[in-house]
Amino acid sequence: MTDNAIADTSDTTAQDAAGLGVRRRDFINIAAVSAAGVGGAAVLVPLISQMAPSADVLAESSTEVDLSAIKPGQAIKAVFRKQPVFVRNLTPSEIAAADAVPLASLRDPETLEQRTKPGHTNWLITMGVCTHLGCVPLGTGEGEPKGEFGGYFCPCHGSQYDTAARIRKGPAPKNLMVPDYVFETATTVKIG
């Protein structure tokens, strides 16, 4: 070998030792870390995405109800998250009866205004599940008993609710729950 060739080899070895060049070991380390990152992402993406709600669950996360067919004094049952929902069109006399009840006489004091949306106080929307043990109260269908207070009557243990779906008599501890809802149009409400 010539002196120049020996000098070139020693310069390259000196650069590698000083960390100035890319060594084969560095390349293997970078490739291994990159492969581990891609492999980790390939495992985590399906694992995390399987925790997202399925299409049928998302479809049940809200319910739209057409209010145009519900006359004053009538109520219907709808389904929201596999549970019944009562949608009631209150008459002026039912609203007056609910407003006339002194709050101090109620077990779970709430006014009708607190249980309805401003501008829509004639529409009462509540979950159709008794707060005692989860039975479905009567009072939405034609001819069903509405109890002493004209609202809903739970046939399981005798809880009675008034026209604002507030507990008035019986073992239920709370009023019928009011779900989140919004009026999309004058005749359509979206629950959930």
Q: Which residues form the catalytic set? A: 157
How far CA 64 is from CA of 61, 81, 92, 174, 187, in Å, comes to 10, 12, 25, 26, 10
Helix (H, G, I), strand (E, B) or coil at 161: strand
Please report the sign of the dihedral spanned by the C-alpha atoms of residue 95, residue 98, residue 102, residue 103: negative
How many alpha carbons fall within 13 Å on the CB side of residue 114?
A: 12
